[in-house]
Amino acid sequence: MERVSVNLELPQWLWEMTEGKDIFLPEIEDRMKFTIELSSLNVKYRTGGPFGAAVFESETGQLAGAGVNMVVTGGSSVFHAEMTAIMFAQKNTRKFELSNGGNSYDLFASTEPCAMCFGAMPWSGIKRLFCAAKGEDAERIGFDEGPKLPDWEEHLRKRGIEVYTSILRNEATAVLNAYKNTGGVIYNSDFSLK
């Protein structure tokens, strides 16, 4: 086996949007608008799939980490928006379990989590999950969301994570549709980077 390393670097436009800035969005709707804008810009700049996510400190609304889908551009199936947002939030807060030690954190996702992202939530340390588009909206344009439990929201609630869905769903679904209509790559397990 060859010695390799994995380096995740967010798109330049996202760094320019967030680096060195203290971003505070106290209102839930403003946090979701920011998250949907991430997904829209990811489509506009062709830097990945039509998904965005952001982690905010629950009380103040301070941005702790932002992410976008980079599966194809980053060459890894784990580079979903929620996963990248969680990774950067954990690095920025220096906590692998976000809500450990005082502050609590919320994850905003432009689309409900797929099976992989759903599985990561209990270990991330988030206390609340806010979603815009439904999983069925992503599936409608061809994405495979995986074998997620039908009552996934209840399973997260049992683990201490509050779940809120369909916040600005129409706006997020419009981004998904724009991605498909502009010829965005619909990758699934049978897709190959050639």
Which residues are catalytic, by number? 82
Strands 52-57 and 105-111: antiparallel
Which residue in 54, 94, 53, 48 sits closest to 75, CA to CA? 48
- 67 near 86, Cβ under 8 Å? yes
Quote the pTM value.
0.94
Q: Give, in order, the Cα–Cα distances in Å from 114 to each of 2, 63, 179.
A: 31, 23, 18
Quote the pLDDT of residue 32.
Answer: 98
For 72-121, what is each residue's pLDDT tens digit? 999 898 999 999 999 999 999 999 999 887 889 999 999 999 999 999 99
For 161-177, what is each residue's pLDDT tens digit? 999 999 999 999 999 99
The pLDDT-based confidence of 133 (bands split at 50, 70, 90) is very high
Q: Check whether 194 has a pLDDT greater than 50.
A: no
What mean pLDDT do residues 25-41 have?
Answer: 98
Query: What would you measure as the largest C-alpha separation in the chain, in angstroms?
Result: 49
Enter the tokens of residue 107: 């994850």
Q: Check whether 191 has a pLDDT greater than 70.
A: no
CA 23-24-26 angle, to 5 degrees, is: 155
